[in-house]
Amino acid sequence: MNVLSEVPRPPPAVVEVFYNGSKLTPAPLIDWLAEGQFDDSGSRTSTLTRITLTGTVLVSPSGSYEQMFVKQEELRAMFAVDYADFVIIAGPANQTLTPGTIISSGLRPKVNSVTVPADTQFIRIDYTVELEDLVTASGVSGVTSSLSDQWSFREDPDTCTVQVTHNVSAEGVDGEPDKFEQAMRAVKARIGIDKLPIEIPYFVEPNASGLFGFTHPSNPSGGPIFEVSVQREEVADVPNGTYQITEIFTIVSGVPFYFTQHTESFEEDANGVASVTIAGTVQGLGRTITVGLGDGGVGFERASSGFINYVKPGLRWDASGVYAKFKEGGTGSGLAIFNPTAYSVTQNKCRGTIDFSITFTDDPAANLPSGIVSSTNSVSIVEGIRLFASHAIPFRRLGNVIQDIKTTTEGSISIQCQATAKNTGDATADTNRAIQFVQDELNRLKTLHANSANFVTLRIANLNQQFSTTDLTGQATLDFAFTVDLATVPDINSNIALRTA
């Protein structure tokens, strides 16, 4: 919580003072006192640094007592935490340093007192804050005899992310009754991705300092860093006064809630039927063990939302692009992108992940409208032919007498269609969808193959329909009888001409 003065047109600050990430304005006067601590042999063991902040908070022109009391509460809340970062940076009016440059950091003092002296407390309050920091001879800040705060970074080329390992360990001062508590306090004050120094990672990419910022005591105006905490470990040695924490994060550049990776494969068989498979993983950002949330926490929630709302809708278009690139002479429109032949999703709530795989094909049998999973149709045509009469003559050595009747036999057309609907949980609606598709197909094929303009006479000889709400299927057979002009029927002395589809 910042403690800020409220005055018209305040002058720009030369320096800015922060404690625990909160800013004091105007910057207070700072009194430094360093006291050496020595052992019996006269060797320096540590330096006790006493810091006194003396300042004023203004609210002008009103500055009622109630407003000034709120400022007092903000001041007390700001210094209610011990062993937080005490940082001084260059302000916008600094003439020698670039604004934001760190002037002093590395001190994590405890708060001895916060004093607001008695006064009218109108328009202004004065305050004094006493801080104390013990720095060992090795330069370690805080009441410890040793402290290690190590960061390591490793690029993951498979996910385009960076794994960050943060290890913090400390040992309390020998001879102190609260040696373990000292070590634990020092470590606890340093854990969390927000403690990542602003300068690093420098070489590893994507990097926090180069591509996106994060909230840090030395850069309070920075933006968020996006991380997944995948592991936390702690080791406590109470008798020897040591405490250690290891935390592992994954940081991502430019993706606020999840990141995803996938592979794309293309196959084509000997018959020229091609298939495209997209398979991958969506990783949600954030802890999967979150107080107040269900299994999987915020990490799994973000993985689910990212997959359902953003990743899944684009899979068919990704597959279409792969098909257009690798299918010889093909375009993306040849792929049945609305009827995948296989689709699977596997969720892992503890890991906060969604694994997926989806396959599309350009097999004509799969190129169906949405909601229909399979369909077959056939057209059978028996042509009308020249009619002959055969007369058996007793004792005739040359066989029957064949007589040309000068007319044709009646031909027939049989159209059969069958469809299976996708199961949506409503058997009646699904079956009706299959029936509607069969009906449309019958009429489409009837227009193509049973057009009355192509025949002398044409009539419906039979219409048969079947459906099943158990199998979600519909099927129908439509039969026609027709006659044609004798001049158009097949002739023994001419080539046979077949009807086209």
Query: What torsion do the CA atoms of 66, 67, 72, 73 make, to the nearest 10 degrees?
Result: 80
Poorest-confidence range of 14-23, 106-115, 206-215, 356-365?
A: 206-215
- Return the closest-CA partner of residue 117 out of 194, 207, 56: 56
- The answer to whether residues 92 and 195 touch, using CB atoms and an 8 Å cutoff, is no
Across the chain, mean pLDDT equals 84
Decide if 163 contacts 248 (C-beta within 8 A).
yes
Between 37-46, 78-87, 313-322, the lowest mean confidence (pLDDT) is in 37-46
Could you tell me the pLDDT band of residue 448, with boundaries at 50, 70 and 90?
Answer: very high
Residue 465 CA to residue 431 CA, distance in Å, equals: 13
* pTM, to two decimals: 0.48
pLDDT tens track for 381-418: 999 999 989 999 999 999 999 898 889 999 999 999 99
Which token pair is 4?
Answer: 């800020």
Least confidently predicted of 193-197, 396-400, 423-427, 483-487: 193-197
When comparing pLDDT for 210 and 247, which is higher? 247
Query: Residue 177: is the preceding peptide bond cis (ω within 30°)?
Result: no
Among the ranges 171-175, 342-346, 351-355, 485-489, which has the highest mean pLDDT value? 342-346
The Cα–Cα gap between 364 and 334 comes to 9
Burial label, 362 (beta-carbon count in 10 A; 0-12, 13-18, 19+): buried
Identify the pLDDT of residue 154: 87
H or E element: which one contains 108? none
